[in-house]
Chains A and B, each alone.
Chain A
Amino acid sequence: MPRVLILFAHPAYHRSRANRALVEAVRELEGVTFHDLYEAYPDLMVDVPREQKLLESHDVVVFQHPFYWYSAPALVKEWLDLVLTHGWAYGEGGTALAGKSWLVAITSGGSESSYAAAGGNRWTVGEFLRPFEATAQLCNMRWRPPFVFHQSHLATAVELVDAAARYQARILALQRGE
């Protein structure tokens, strides 16, 4: 069974109902390693050897975070800058991540329809996530279609439960190799 590593990043987790619902749906699943980045690195001092070791022992890497400014919270960028080193993740001899899956799971304030050429945000979520997709590609990783929880801040209790279930189903599917 593919082992799943969830790299969770939310600087204000205590205020996020949506992410709490998502986290609670997956963190205790068997075969899932849940890694709370802002809890591990409050000073942004990412421990590179530790992170690389974690990556090496998993097959699916999930980045779960809010869709801040059409991207990710600062620590995710810091993590990418530091952990994906030349000669390890990419470039000559950089094969540590080859073949592993990369899934982005985001919570977003905008509606699904707003992420379109005609919508308020003008581009699709997939287009905004291009830098991540390109990174995955450079590391020879398999880019998976992102999981998006739209208008998460307006979600009703029922919608929260629904999103959590969808997220859990997605993770379980990845574990089945789908």
Chain B
Amino acid sequence: MDHSFLTQAFVFLAAAVISVLVAQRIGLGSVLGYLVAGALIGPYGLGFVGDPEGVMHAAELGVVIMLFLIGLELEPALLWRMRTAILGLGAAQVLVTGLLFAFVSLRVGIDWRVGLAVGFILSLSSTAIVLQSLREKGLASTDFGRASFAVLLFQDIAVIPMLALFPLLATRAVAESHAGPLSHLPAWAQTLAVAGAIAGVVLVGRVLTRPLFRWIARMHLNEIFTACALALVAGVALLMQSVGLSPALGAFLAGVVLADSEYRHELQSDIEPFRALLLGMFFISVGAGIDFPLVAERPALIAGLVVSLITLKAAALYAVARAFRRPRPEAVLIALALAQGGEFAFVLFGFAEMNGIVPRSVASPLIAAVALSMALTPLLLVLGERVATWLSDSEAREAPTHFPLTETPHAVIAGFGRFGQIVHRVLRASGYSTSILEHSADQVDAVRAFGNKANYGDASRVDLLRAAGAQEAKLLVVAVDDPDKALEIAEIGRRHFPHLKILARAFDRGHVYELMKRNVDAIERETFEGALRLGTAALRALGWRAHQAERAAGLFRRHDERNVRAMFEHWGQGDSAYRSAVNARRALVEDMLARDLATHEVTAPDAAWDTASLDEEVERRARGV
């Protein structure tokens, strides 16, 4: 096979495109696609790639860039708020998982020192795979996403002491240590070098980068800006590596330092494509690195290792997450998302082997098991989501059905997010009492911190509505953020509490009709008024007088509301009837608008104050016509 650069590039990119498209289509996410592509073109597959390790080194820059970008999104203040999660959840996870694996190794007759090293190596998860998958699924900024990130961050930090402490676990003497280029220095000097490097990154980031970026930006050389950003990331990674720190950690640090700089967004958008592609290459090289002959030779052993790695790690993660009072669905997600081995395992196993800590016979099957466990991550995440949904549903079923109501509520508000809170405040400010049902435990805790009393529960349950005071209340406000749930609540409210006036938040036209069908008394599309206000602001920005713009918006509202009512008649008479009615109506409205525009001065909003026809008549009379 010809291994020229162009061939390699073509093979990598083509394999990535095909596999990722297929994986996405099946709904498994890009990571699995890349891994499968790697396995296919790797030395044990079709053999298109000669040197997966070489590729992996190049592709590690992808991981570094990813951590840099994550750092960019994390301002120091946010990081500070996460300190308990990082130092608590993260540290506990590494310790508990590490010791658990060590204990198991001991039980199967492996030397305790080897076991300890193996245990801590396996306690690390794959930052690259997990974060990429979370991002793709849009889970990165959920509680679960943040907790996972905290754990991964601590693991990245934990690599440093591992590298420092592993030589102490050596079971046989080795001629030369490979701990890092600084390992010949005394301990105090090494510490000093590490501290100096970190201080250097912070200082350079704070003081030098801004003038540099400003200078480059002023020259309008886009590619130089990108090159400079990449050089910065690579340089920091290099510096960190030279003092024995994880390059990814260094890049993360640099990112955090630059997070509040005005070039943050430009840096993000410039580097993002490199991250995606290089990370893809990294996953491909992980896939290519899976030692299939070894797997084929000892399938039972490898399968056993993969299964025990995942189950033990998931169990430890679940226990730790629960100990830190994470709700059960979240704990399950954390446990399954982080149950794989990480890319650092490849580095650390190599290091441990070289230092005579872990013999090759132990390391090789473990490396294969780690790679396979990484490949299983997307599937585990899907499983995790299923279990978490099932758990939160069953938890909702077990929720308490008696709330301590201090007053008889005038209104029951279902859903206490952005929408419900405003409704609640309007009612409260006008002297009415409300009773709130919210289905997210986190949201309940969050609003309680601000002195609002929300009760946890699913408002589509009759007993919970009754417990919330629906029998005594006059109104039911449906403000949940799930359209189907809203319909369900409206229906159940109508059926079981016919005296209630039901007011609902709608999402789009179709949802409005569905709510109308359920005889909801008042319906408000969640984005309509806001968009209308912005439209009014746009007219004012175009030079309209405030009153004129206000009336234009008012007229538009009236037209649109009538439209919705008129179209409701056609809705439900089959799709084609509805579509043709909508089209006819649209033509009518457009015609009306066009006429308004044509007679620009006499636009509907100010027709009443238009005196053109009167002036004309007066003039004609004056001329005696």
Q: Roughly how many angstroms separate A86 CA and B615 CA in the complex, as a whole number?
A: 10
Closest to B618 in A: A91
Query: Assuming A45-B554, A45-B555, is B609 touching A81 (CB within 8 A)?
Result: yes
Q: Roughly how many angstroms separate A102 CA and B555 CA in the complex, as a whole number?
A: 29
Which residues from chain B contact A81 at a C-beta distance below 8 Å? Answer: 608-609
Binary flags per residue of A41-61, CB closer than 8 Å to B gives 1, else 0 = 001010110000000000000
Offer 8 A-B interface pairs, CB within 8 angstroms, sorted by A. A45-B551, A45-B554, A48-B607, A48-B608, A85-B608, A91-B613, A91-B614, A92-B617
Max chain A Cβ within 10 angstroms of own Cβ: one of B608, B609, B614, B617: B608
Q: Which of B555, B558, B611 contacts A86 (CB 8 A)?
A: B611
List which B511-570 residues lie within 8 A (CB) of chain A.
551, 554-555, 558
Residues of A within 8 A of B (CB): 43, 45, 47-48, 81-83, 85-87, 91-92
CB of B554 within 8 A of CB of A86, answer no
CB of A45 within 8 A of CB of B558, answer yes
List which B592-625 residues lie within 8 A (CB) of chain A.
607-609, 611, 613-614, 617
CB of A86 within 8 A of CB of B551, answer no
Which residues from chain A contact B609 at a C-beta distance below 8 Å? Answer: 81
Majority secondary structure, A binding face: loop
CB of A82 within 8 A of CB of B608, answer yes
Which residues from chain A contact B554 at a C-beta distance below 8 Å? Answer: 43, 45
Q: How many A-B residue pairs have CB under 8 A?
A: 23
Q: Roughly how many angstroms separate A86 CA and B607 CA in the complex, as a whole number?
A: 11
**How far in angstroms is the closest Cβ of chain A from B522?**
14
Q: Which 10 A-B pairs have the closest CB atoms?
A: A82-B608, A45-B554, A86-B614, A86-B613, A92-B617, A91-B617, A87-B613, A43-B554, A81-B608, A91-B614
Q: Roughly how many angstroms separate A83 CA and B608 CA in the complex, as a whole number?
A: 7
**New contact pairs (7) apart from A43-B554, A45-B554, A92-B617, CB-CB < 8 Å:** A45-B551, A45-B555, A48-B607, A81-B608, A82-B608, A86-B611, A86-B613
Which residues from chain A contact B611 at a C-beta distance below 8 Å? Answer: 86
**How far in angstroms is the closest Cβ of chain B from A78?**
9
Which residues from chain A contact B607 at a C-beta distance below 8 Å? Answer: 48, 85
**How far in angstroms is the closest Cβ of chain A from B312?**
65
Q: Roughly how many angstroms separate A48 CA and B608 CA in the complex, as a whole number?
A: 9
Closest to A43 in B: B554
List which B431-463 residues lie within 8 A (CB) of chain A.
none
Q: Roughly how many angstroms separate A48 CA and B551 CA in the complex, as a whole number?
A: 13
CB of B617 within 8 A of CB of A47, answer no
Which residues from chain B contact A86 at a C-beta distance below 8 Å? Answer: 611, 613-614, 617
Q: Roughly how many angstroms separate A91 CA and B614 CA in the complex, as a whole number?
A: 7
**How far in angstroms is the closest Cβ of chain B from A49?**
10
Closest to A41 in B: B554
**How far in angstroms is the closest Cβ of chain B from A136?**
18
Which residues from chain A contact B608 at a C-beta distance below 8 Å? Answer: 48, 81-83, 85
Max chain B Cβ within 10 angstroms of own Cβ: one of A43, A48, A86, A91: A86
**How far in angstroms is the closest Cβ of chain B from A76?**
14
Q: Roughly how many angstroms separate A92 CA and B611 CA in the complex, as a whole number?
A: 13
Binary flags per residue of B95-126, CB closer than 8 Å to A gives 1, else 0 = 00000000000000000000000000000000
Q: Roughly how many angstroms separate A82 CA and B551 CA in the complex, as a whole number?
A: 12
Which residues from chain A contact B614 at a C-beta distance below 8 Å? Answer: 86, 91
**How far in angstroms is the closest Cβ of chain B from A93?**
10
Q: Roughly how many angstroms separate A47 CA and B608 CA in the complex, as a whole number?
A: 11
Closest to B615 in A: A86
Closest to B620 in A: A92
Closest to A45 in B: B554
**How far in angstroms is the closest Cβ of chain B from A3?**
25
Max chain A Cβ within 10 angstroms of own Cβ: one of B551, B609, B617: B617
Q: Roughly how many angstroms separate A17 CA and B459 CA in the complex, as a whole number?
A: 41
Q: Roughly how many angstroms separate A55 CA and B379 CA in the complex, as a whole number?
A: 70
CB of B613 within 8 A of CB of A47, answer no
Q: Roughly how many angstroms separate A45 CA and B536 CA in the complex, as a whole number?
A: 15
Q: Roughly how many angstroms separate A81 CA and B551 CA in the complex, as a whole number?
A: 14
Which residues from chain B contact A43 at a C-beta distance below 8 Å? Answer: 554
**How far in angstroms is the closest Cβ of chain B from A55?**
15
Which residues from chain B contact A92 at a C-beta distance below 8 Å? Answer: 617
Q: Roughly how many angstroms separate A116 CA and B551 CA in the complex, as a whole number?
A: 41
Q: Roughly how many angstroms separate A45 CA and B611 CA in the complex, as a whole number?
A: 19
**How far in angstroms is the closest Cβ of chain B from A139?**
14
Closest to B611 in A: A86
**How far in angstroms is the closest Cβ of chain A from B430?**
13
**How far in angstroms is the closest Cβ of chain A from B416?**
27
Which residues from chain B contact A91 at a C-beta distance below 8 Å? Answer: 613-614, 617
Which residues from chain B contact A87 at a C-beta distance below 8 Å? Answer: 613
Closest to A92 in B: B617
Closest to A81 in B: B608
Q: Roughly how many angstroms separate A82 CA and B554 CA in the complex, as a whole number?
A: 15
Q: Roughly how many angstroms separate A173 CA and B74 CA in the complex, as a whole number?
A: 78
**How far in angstroms is the closest Cβ of chain B from A105?**
25
**How far in angstroms is the closest Cβ of chain B from A82?**
4
**How far in angstroms is the closest Cβ of chain A from B565?**
14
**How far in angstroms is the closest Cβ of chain B from A178?**
34
**How far in angstroms is the closest Cβ of chain B from A85?**
7
Closest to B604 in A: A48
Closest to A86 in B: B614
Q: Roughly how many angstroms separate A91 CA and B554 CA in the complex, as a whole number?
A: 29
**How far in angstroms is the closest Cβ of chain B from A41?**
10
Q: Roughly how many angstroms separate A43 CA and B556 CA in the complex, as a whole number?
A: 13
**How far in angstroms is the closest Cβ of chain B from A89?**
11
**How far in angstroms is the closest Cβ of chain B from A94?**
10
Q: Roughly how many angstroms separate A86 CA and B613 CA in the complex, as a whole number?
A: 7
Which residues from chain B contact A85 at a C-beta distance below 8 Å? Answer: 607-608
Q: Roughly how many angstroms separate A37 CA and B608 CA in the complex, as a whole number?
A: 18
Which residues from chain A contact B551 at a C-beta distance below 8 Å? Answer: 45
Q: Roughly how many angstroms separate A85 CA and B617 CA in the complex, as a whole number?
A: 13
**How far in angstroms is the closest Cβ of chain A from B619?**
12
Q: Roughly how many angstroms separate A92 CA and B618 CA in the complex, as a whole number?
A: 10
**How far in angstroms is the closest Cβ of chain B from A96?**
15
**How far in angstroms is the closest Cβ of chain A from B86?**
52
Q: Roughly how many angstroms separate A97 CA and B558 CA in the complex, as a whole number?
A: 26
Which residues from chain A contact B555 at a C-beta distance below 8 Å? Answer: 45
**How far in angstroms is the closest Cβ of chain B from A36?**
18
**How far in angstroms is the closest Cβ of chain B from A81?**
6
Which residues from chain A contact B613 at a C-beta distance below 8 Å? Answer: 86-87, 91
**How far in angstroms is the closest Cβ of chain B from A8?**
21
